[in-house]
Amino acid sequence: MKSYTSLKSVLAEFFPLHRTLASDDHDKTLEIIGSYMPDSSNYTIETYAPLEKAWTWYVPERYVVHEAYLEIEGGERVVDFKNNPLYIVSYSLPVDKTLSFEELQPHLYFNEKRPHTIPWVFKYYDRDWGFCLPKNIFDKLPRDKKYRAVIRSEFVTDPKQGFKMATAVIHPEGGASVSAGEIIVQAHTCHPMQANDDGAGVVSAIELARRLAEKPLPAGSMSVRFWFGPETIGTIVYLSHNENIIHNLRGGIFMEMTGNKNKIAWHHTRQHTHLLDRITNFIVGKSAHEERDFAAAPANDERVINGPGVNVPCISINRWPYDEYHTSDDNLDIMHEDMLVGAAETAEHIIRIYASNYIPKRTFRGPVFLSGNGLWVDWRENWALNRAIEKIMMRFEGGLSVFEIAEQVGLDYWMVRDYIEKFRAKGFVTAEPIPSEAQNA
Ligand SMILES: [Zn+2]
């Protein structure tokens, strides 16, 4: 595992690459991410054969651009892919044509609101060819000249050069707990030369992984699965080819746009009032934040993880909105280290509670003989907990998790958890896992 001085420096390594659904630069990005993930997390890059079915979708082909440019005939080059991958519409079809301005115009894209920027445009499935350029340059293009449009692109279906994504898993103290299951953390990797959306989420997730490896979750907690890959279709391909992991997923966090200077926003799960929503609200609610419904803009892979036939409760964390979105202004200049780290910290707090939470279920009858079992809390040492003993003991009927008990008695989660762990050590409660909401069809 490589060390780093800042998350921004990690982001700078893969930011300028021609990242897209499947490309050589996307492969490089996954390699770079892996070099920073904890050694213990078993970071693995997986490859899927193009055109294979993935539920109602198919695995996309690899996109190779040998050369792409737009020229004024007999004159200057307007845009050149080798200077910036944003200059062409992602997954543009090949073209080599001389056209009038009128013929060319439907293939040109710009951003009215940010006329100095190159917008990011993609046409992955409804394919066409096109160039993206600043509005300021578009306005100056001579209307009476001929243009030469060249995109030498290739769609590769060789299964060995397939569609890639990566996973890693960080286990709690003592290894995986089969009954506790896993929580999945996702960040997508497919936006070419875009910093906040989506490189920022990736580096915040790397920071999160390192924190969870350095200070593991308590024994018996959920494992934390990390996933990096192309947005939406990546998750669809992954889950459709690994359906066996779905039932094991107890929750998810999608992270992106974590680096711009703005407060944290979180999106509810599709369940809306799930334990994961309440824990997130508890953590994020401590400071200025924004709260949104499930799949509100910007919606991402949580629509798959928490979608039909999967239904794993998944929240999203971001710092949306920001004006530079999907333009060449979404670059390292708008990235702030404290924002990137802050988002990782927020996710860490949520995971530490959500993944270590369980439902304590009573095995005893009658009030427990506290002092006889070392469970008495001296009021001189902890007055608040002393006052709450009875209330806690009355809540071991199997309907409430540790977090909910802590909420109801108004005490800190970790204090209540530590106390309940003592009952558990004595065999007075069993730890029932947070039930899976996953659908298996
Ligand atoms: Zn995006």
Percentage of the residues of the chain whose pLDDT score is greater than 70: 100
Contacts by 133-139, CB closer than 8 A, 24 or more apart: 133/70, 133/78, 133/79, 133/87, 133/108, 133/109, 134/110, 135/110, 135/111, 137/78, 137/79, 138/108, 138/110, 139/115
pLDDT band at 281 (very low <50, low <70, confident <90, very high): very high
User: Whose CA is closest to 377, among 421, 425, 428, 419?
Assistant: 419
Longest dimension (CA), the chain: 95
The rounded Å distance from CA 197 to ligand 1 centre is 5
The rounded Å distance from CA 419 to ligand 1 centre is 44
pLDDT for residue 233 is more than 90: yes
Residue 287, Cβ density class (10 Å: 0-12 exposed, 13-18 middle, ≥19 buried)? exposed
The rounded Å distance from CA 160 to ligand 1 centre is 28
The rounded Å distance from CA 333 to ligand 1 centre is 18
The CATH class of 7-59+160-356 is alpha beta
Q: What does pLDDT average to over the chain?
A: 98
The rounded Å distance from CA 328 to ligand 1 centre is 12
Q: What is the mean pLDDT of residues 433-440?
A: 96
pLDDT for residue 75 is more than 90: no
The rounded Å distance from CA 97 to ligand 1 centre is 30
Tokens of 81: 């892919």
The rounded Å distance from CA 22 to ligand 1 centre is 16
Q: What is the mean pLDDT of residues 50-74?
A: 97
The rounded Å distance from CA 65 to ligand 1 centre is 21
The rounded Å distance from CA 7 to ligand 1 centre is 20
Report the phi/psi class of residue 173: left, alpha or beta, with left for phi > 0 and alpha for psi in -120 to 50: beta
The rounded Å distance from CA 232 to ligand 1 centre is 11
pLDDT at 143: 97
> Residue 252: what are its φ and ψ, rounded to 5°?
-150, 155
Q: What is the mean pLDDT of residues 175-197?
A: 98
- CA-to-CA distance for 5 and 141, rounded, in angstroms? 44
62-156 CATH pick, 3.30.230.10, 3.30.420.40, 3.50.30.90, 3.90.580.10 = 3.50.30.90
The rounded Å distance from CA 231 to ligand 1 centre is 8
The rounded Å distance from CA 41 to ligand 1 centre is 27
The rounded Å distance from CA 326 to ligand 1 centre is 6
Q: What is the mean pLDDT of residues 237-246?
A: 98
The rounded Å distance from CA 438 to ligand 1 centre is 27
The rounded Å distance from CA 225 to ligand 1 centre is 22
Helices 402-409 & 413-425 angle (0-180, nearest 10) = 120
Q: Under a CB-based contact definition with an 8 Å cutoff, are residues 120 and 326 in contact?
A: yes
**DSSP run (H or E) holding 31:** helix 24-36
- CA-to-CA distance for 266 and 77, rounded, in angstroms? 44
End-to-end CA distance of the chain: 38
Q: Under a CB-based contact definition with an 8 Å cutoff, are residues 198 and 231 in contact?
A: yes
Q: Under a CB-based contact definition with an 8 Å cutoff, are residues 300 and 188 in contact?
A: yes
pLDDT band at 25 (very low <50, low <70, confident <90, very high): very high
Check the CA dihedral 346-349-353-355 and report its sign. Answer: positive
Which residues are in the CB-under-5-Å shell of ion ligand 1?
A: 197
pLDDT for residue 62 is more than 90: yes
pLDDT at 418: 98
What are the tens digits of pLDDT across the range 287-335?
999 999 999 999 999 999 999 999 999 999 999 999 999 999 999 999 9
Angle at 356 between CA 243 and CA 182, to 5 degrees: 10
The rounded Å distance from CA 261 to ligand 1 centre is 17
Angle at 296 between CA 126 and CA 336, to 5 degrees: 95
**So where are the chain's domains?**
7-59+160-356, 62-156, 359-432
Q: What is the mean pLDDT of residues 173-190?
A: 98
